Structure 1
Amino acid sequence: MPPVLPLDPPQRLVHSLEGRPNGAAAADWLTALPRLLEQMLEEWDLTAERVVSPGGRSSLIVLVRLPDGTPGTLKLTAPGSSATLEQAALAHWDGWGAVRVLRSRTCDGALLLERLHGEVSLRSLPETQAMLEAASAVRRLWVAPPEGHGFGTVEKHTAAAADTLLAQAPAEVAPLVDEALALRASLVAGAPEAVLLHGDFRQGAVLAAGGERAQWLAVGPEPLIGERAFDLARLVRDRLHDLLASAGAPAVTRRRIHRLADSLEVDRERLRGWTLYRAVESGVRNLSRGSRADGEALLEFAGWV
């Protein structure tokens, strides 16, 4: 079977991998990608329909058909993205609130998933409705982790990020970084719970399912064990560029925090703290990669919180 990968992988994927610390490994993976794709199609007897573009920032997504004609999605994850942990989280949820895994070979970063409507995420809905659906979707994911799991914790994950934050932060944002790190230390010291989290939950990570099981299902988890407020913090800043262009953005941001916290029974101050920390960490990371506009937008947002 000839490879179906176009001569050039989707540019979003290429550009995202170029900015990663493991750039050499990512480049090798991109070079080997056509052969890996061909291999997985042959071994699982899949018929490729098309490569999804622009696709993801850390994986190649290919729409396929299973031997019986059932539609599926083949996901090949890049180095630095743990297919093992993603598969483990999706298997534990077993289709409850998240996409279902049909087959996996995590040593090669390969996941065969049920087909969702990838072109329709919660971002296609009006803001108020999108937030209501997001709250409903994420609530289903917050369950006790399986025994003997290998997931990392929010505490350890953010400790590693905090070290990088200190090393990369420009001097002019030092006060905001100091506030973020102080909040992070206080939050991990008094965490009220330890549930399975999506880890990168946002409107774009919830796709239309259109089935009897659910109308919307989460995809692309970066699973961690920790408190629910950490999972909501990324959602608070959704549609950031629209928010930046709106009048009264700081007040709108604070109302988002209060509404999400109250609707999901999360402490407002803990959600505010994690929202500020995650925005600062992401902002500094973007600045260090040369994405100045995104970095400055995130730091401006953090200042509103």
Structure 2
Amino acid sequence: MSTAPVEPPQRLVSALSGDPDSPVRKWLAALPTVVQQRLDAWDLTLERVQAPGGRGSLVALVRQQDGTPAALKFPVPGQASAREGAALAAWDGWGAVRLLRSDETDGALLLERLHGAVSLRSLPEAKALLEAAGTVRRLWVAPAEGHPFETLAGRTEEAVAALETTGALVPAAGPLVDEARELRRALPAGSTEQVLLHGAFRQGKVLAGERVPWLAVGPAPVVGERAYDLAGLVLDRFEDLVAGSGGAATARRRVARLADSLEVERDRLRAWTLYLAVAAGVRESAAGDRRHGELLLEFATWL
């Protein structure tokens, strides 16, 4: 139990600084009280709120009643976060952080404690890609009958609409946006593969652990084909490729290496990566970060 004050980290507050009457802002305002109530209900002792933390959740480092360290997470409400606990329960610690407890009323997730400051991004690129591939492979399991996860086809409809809206704000990217939009419509229908995916996989989502060296965190789970998860890995550290010489050839080699090592079709991995790069590029450009957006769009042209 803890009586220490709980304050959301500034990064989370800044990320959610929209309409004060929106449900997310109301959630943020109530968060200190909700966290304290959960600490009391589960007999947890607060050590500290993790800072700077992320833009999609509050994570508090806590001790359980028996002194065992753990992490108490409150994801920002939304469809993806509502399914995070279900995915972690399905994996049961295999390749991912272990879920110890959860509560549907406030979305709280009590997780095993990992080394939050040490991700695969701390490793040299070749080693990081190798470890990432080994980790994500473990997550690809058949979803249980009646599972609660959305499919890639379902996620596609909303994503295509968003791409059309943001793409209109970046006219120069028109041809790339058209190609990405068509790929996104066609790709889910072109595969019968239905496995549980992390849904937001990248090197920064794999943290050092005690049980095993590396464990995935922060899924946005979805059911579909494995190439979707690998596309995030192709995009990892893309800025380094854009800044260096021979970046286009290196990007294509990365696609081939990841696809071949995990028995995924190269063309489908290339297509999913192109879509994600374009979607992120126009989103960043429309939000005002033109430099980052243009780099993503340049990377997409290499594919």
TM-score, with structure 1 as normaliser: 0.94
In structure 1, what is the equivalent of residue 189 of structure 2? 189
Is 2:9 the partner of 1:10? yes
Quick one: which of 277, 280, 286 aligns to 1:279?
277
Cross-structure match for 1:245 = 243
Match of 2:141 in 1: 143
Counterpart pick for 1:63 among 52, 61, 64: 61
| Percent of aligned pairs sharing the same letter | 59
- Distance across 1 between alignment mates of 2:24 and 2:83: 19
Q: Conserved in 2, the CA contact under 8 Å of 1:65 and 1:72?
A: yes
Aligned AA (1:180): A
Q: Is the 8 A contact 1:83 1:110 kept in 2?
A: no
- Shift in Å, 1:140: 0.4
Letter of the structure 1 residue corresponding to residue 5 of structure 2: V
Equivalent residue in structure 1 for 2:39, among 33, 38, 41: 41
**SS of alignment partner, residue 22 of structure 2:** helix
Instruction: Return the letter of the residue paired with 1:172.
Output: A
Between 183-192 and 272-281, the greater mean CA deviation after superposition: 183-192
Question: Cα 1:129–1:22, aligned 2, differ >3 Å: closer, same or farther?
Answer: farther
CA distance in 2, matches of 1:273, 1:83: 26
Query: Aligned-pair distance for 1:282?
Result: 1.5
Residue 22 to residue 249, structure 1, CA distance change in 2 (3 Å): farther
* Cα-to-partner distance string for 1:275-302 (whole Å, 9 max, x where unaligned): 0001111222222333333222221211
Q: How many residues align?
A: 300
Segments of 5+ residues of structure 2 without an aligned counterpart are none
Q: CA deviation at 1:22?
A: 9.5
The match for 1:101 is 99
TM (norm. structure 2) is: 0.94
Render the CA deviation track for 1:7-36: whole Å, top value 9, x for unaligned: xx32321232236x9982222122111111
Give the conservation status (yes or no) of the 8 Å contact 1:83–1:111: no
Alignment of 1:286-301 (within 5 A): 286-301=284-299
Cross-structure match for 1:179? 179
Distance in 1 (alpha carbons) for counterparts of 2:230 and 2:196: 13
* Alpha carbons 1:117, 1:208 under 8 Å: kept: yes
Q: Structure 1 stretches (4+) deviating beyond 6 angstroms?
A: none
RMSD: 1.6
Secondary structure of 1:48's match? Answer: strand
- When residues 298 and 226 of structure 1 are mapped into structure 2, their CA distance, relative to the original with a 3 A threshold, is same
Instruction: Report matched runs for 1:252-271 at 5 Å.
Output: 252-271=250-269
